[in-house]
Amino acid sequence: MSAAEADRWAWLLVLSFVFGCNVLRILLPSFSSFMSRVLQKDAEQESQMRAEIQDMKQELSTVNMMDEFARYARLERKINKMTDKLKTHGMETLVAWKAS
């Protein structure tokens, strides 16, 4: 390989690097906004589920277990189901992050 050919390859490498940096500079803001929307949506869902669980627990504390056992048990099952759903949602998010 001659010196002139090596110089051409070096310039090609430099120009490719500059072009790649400019493309990255253009695409990075849209990529980061997409990722933040995805993450924010998951966080909103989780906080909504937590709020629902908290509301149900508050309601459960007002129900007398002896007098209204059926309602108490039904509400307790709902809380357990929602808590399990929240745990699996968190695990799915964790697995999705590890997979990517």
Q: What is the pLDDT of residue 39?
A: 73
From residue 86, how far is each of 24, 58, 73, 83, 89 by CA, in Å? 36, 18, 20, 5, 5
The pLDDT of residue 93 is 65
Distance from C-alpha of 4 to C-alpha of 60, rounded to nearest angstrom: 82
pTM: 0.54
> pLDDT by residue (tens digit) across 8-65?
999 999 999 999 999 999 988 888 888 877 777 777 888 899 999 999 999 999 999 8
pLDDT number for residue 22: 92
Count CA within 13 A, CB hemisphere, residue 95: 6
Residue 94: predicted pLDDT: 60
